[in-house]
Amino acid sequence: MGQSDFVLEMDGISKSFPGVKALDNVTLHVRKGEVHALMGENGAGKSTLMKCLFGIYDPDGGTIRVDGETVKFSDAKDALSRGISMIHQELSPVKDRSVMENLWLGRFPERRVLGIPFVDHRAMYEKTLEVFASLQIDIDPKVWVRYLSVSKVQMLEIAKACSMNAKIIIMDEPSSSLTENEVDHLFKIINTLRDKGVSIIYISHKIEEILRISDEVTIMRDGKSIGTWPAEGLTNDFIIAKMVGRDLSNRFPPRSNIPGDDMLTVSAFTSAERNSFQDVSFTLRRGEILGIGGLVGAKRSELVETMFGLRPLKSGEMSMKGKKLRVRSSIDAKGNGMALLTEERRATGIIPMLSVLDNTVIANLIKYLSKIGLIRAKQCAGDVDDSIEKLRIKTPSRMTRIKDLSGGNQQKTLFARWLLTNPEILILDEPTRGIDVGAKYEIYTIIANLAQEGKSIIMISSEMPELLGMSDRIMVMCAGRMTGILDGKTATQEEIMRLATQFAKESTKGANQ
């Protein structure tokens, strides 16, 4: 193939940070009008490579060519001016401004009055409607971004990238916050862009999506490019083996836990919030993994956050080992041996500017206080180092800021945080979201081991194979109501989906919020 076959050529790209070589002689070639998937475990270097392309990082070595011309972008604005746009994994809109202002940020249409430039809000509104209409996106241009759901913000970011008429669009985990219908919509947009000759670099951990939408797949591992293959003919097992460098034919570890007596009983739980869950009752046994399934809008997160004292309860009771619990705050919940790994790690999990050490020990600081109230730093460091080794957290050191870790390693750090509190009941809300297949297996192994030790696990998951592969029982919710509990060994995807859509006709609006 000649140079003209590729709109983008990245050759020999290297990048180091203190204590870690993030990229080591990486190669990526992308053709005009193709969807090129970029895959690899968390920490493999995918996002770092794209930030080098987008001008956020200055690579230490290698060359980048766009349309055959060698380029060196000084910043993101420089990359945008050359037709390269990027949808970041971590969304950062200006929340207290309107949708249309976010869409045209830095390039507002102007009108002049007596020679003085003013923002032309009418033109901006009309241009926003045009962009949304071309992409079949239904969002009010005038509403503040603060009031949008995460999935709507994601669609806004996609529209923003498309509105720049870029020749290359980088999409870093664009479907992580989207429903199945919204993913279908995203793929229609991608196909339209491909037909127009736009090249898409698509980063995702979701192999099924990759095989469905991409033309070629490049796989990275440990900062190196392993190879590039046509997507047609690739299999899950092949991709996983190349990503992790080992066979993962068994996606879930063997489990030997035997659920025992009832540990937790939830009776007639009804939320004090409008349009939330109502009359939910279930039991959790010692040493059991209880999965909770359901579609978007099922109010699963709201339920467990209320159990943990983060949301108000209207009516209902909760008891542990037959003793009635009064949980009005997370402090009460922790005091009763409960821990909660929240769904949105960036919003309600990590403290970005603090170190891995600080983020790990912060929920359990009282354990490290000496008799005179000083923190025993050596004990903290020892426990954190043990956690880093046990969970295989990829970090230059325990003092590295957590915001500098990949998303998956941030999630592992949060897992370590709650394990240090030694909880009896561990509530996991989408514990493997945004985590690659190799790291998922490690998390599954930890969950299985905790259950075998007698810990009780509640695990919310939107991934059907995960529910079926890890749960002793599966409780299904729809539109805020518990619709059934299934035996994990005999449950089927069809049964779960039937229960998850039981009230769909009468609650279509709620189920798609």
Q: Residue 358 sits in which domain range?
A: 350-422
Question: Residue 91: which pLDDT band, with cuts at 50, 70 and 90?
Answer: low
- Picking from 26-40, 381-395, 462-476, 496-510, which range would have the lowest pLDDT averaged per residue? 496-510
Q: Are residues 84 and 191 in the same domain?
A: yes
Distances (CA, A) of 470 to 24, 50, 446, 498: 36, 34, 11, 20
Q: How many domains does the chain have?
A: 3
Quick one: which of 428, 416, 426, 438 has its CA closest to 362? 416
- Asked if residue 90 has pLDDT above 80, the reply is no
Token digits of residue 398? 């325990």
Q: Has residue 458 been placed in a domain?
A: yes
Q: Has residue 16 been placed in a domain?
A: yes
Highest mean pLDDT among 155-169, 215-229, 232-246, 369-383: 215-229
- Asked if residue 71 has pLDDT above 70, the reply is yes
Residue 117, helix vs strand vs coil: strand
Q: Which of 211, 244, 277 is the last residue of a domain?
A: 244
Q: Are residues 267 and 213 in the same domain?
A: no
Q: Are residues 293 and 354 in the same domain?
A: no
Q: Are residues 293 and 203 in the same domain?
A: no
Q: What is the pLDDT of residue 160?
A: 87
Q: Are residues 323 and 355 in the same domain?
A: no
Q: Has residue 250 been placed in a domain?
A: no
Q: Has residue 90 been placed in a domain?
A: yes
Q: Are residues 205 and 228 in the same domain?
A: yes
Measure the CA–CA gap between 183 and 191, rounded to whole angstroms: 12
What element of type H or E holds 154?
Answer: helix 150-163
Q: Are residues 448 and 402 in the same domain?
A: no
Q: Are residues 320 and 360 in the same domain?
A: no
Measure the CA–CA gap between 456 and 319, rounded to whole angstroms: 14
Q: State the Cα torsion 374-379-385-391 to the nearest 10°.
A: -100
- Helix%, strand%, coil% for the chain, nearest 5: 35, 25, 40
Q: Are residues 206 and 92 in the same domain?
A: yes
User: Could you tell me which residue, 135 or 385, shows the higher pLDDT?
Assistant: 385
Average pLDDT over residues 234-251: 75
Q: What is the mean pLDDT of the chain?
A: 87
Q: What is the pLDDT of residue 62?
A: 94
Q: Which of 374, 398, 422 is the last residue of a domain?
A: 422
Q: What is the pLDDT of residue 42?
A: 66
Average pLDDT over residues 422-442: 84
How many angstroms separate the first and last alpha carbons of the chain?
A: 47
Q: What is the pLDDT of residue 510?
A: 38
Q: Summarize pLDDT for 13-47 with one digit per residue, the tens.
A: 999 876 678 899 999 999 999 999 998 876 788 88
Q: What is the pLDDT of residue 200?
A: 95
Q: What is the pLDDT of residue 498?
A: 84
- Asked if residue 410 has pLDDT above 90, the reply is no
Q: What is the pLDDT of residue 2?
A: 44
Measured N-to-C along each axis, helices 407-419 and 437-452 cross at an angle, to the nearest 10 degrees, of 10
Measure the CA–CA gap between 292 and 313, rounded to whole angstroms: 20
Q: State the Cα torsion 64-65-71-72 to the nearest 10°.
A: -10
Q: What is the pLDDT of residue 106?
A: 82
Cβ distance 266 to 468 under 8 Å? no
Pairing of strands 61-66, 6-17: antiparallel
- Asked if residue 508 has pLDDT above 50, the reply is no
Q: What are phi and psi of 105, to 5 degrees?
A: -55, 125
Average pLDDT over residues 144-164: 84
Average pLDDT over residues 488-503: 85
Q: What is the pLDDT of residue 149?
A: 78
Q: Are residues 238 and 359 in the same domain?
A: no
Q: What is the pLDDT of residue 249?
A: 58
Token digits of residue 391? 């969970």
Question: Residue 506: which pLDDT band, with cuts at 50, 70 and 90?
Answer: very low
Q: What is the CATH number of the domain that holds 313?
A: 3.40.50.300
Q: Summarize pLDDT for 343-360 with one digit per residue, the tens.
A: 877 677 788 889 999 999
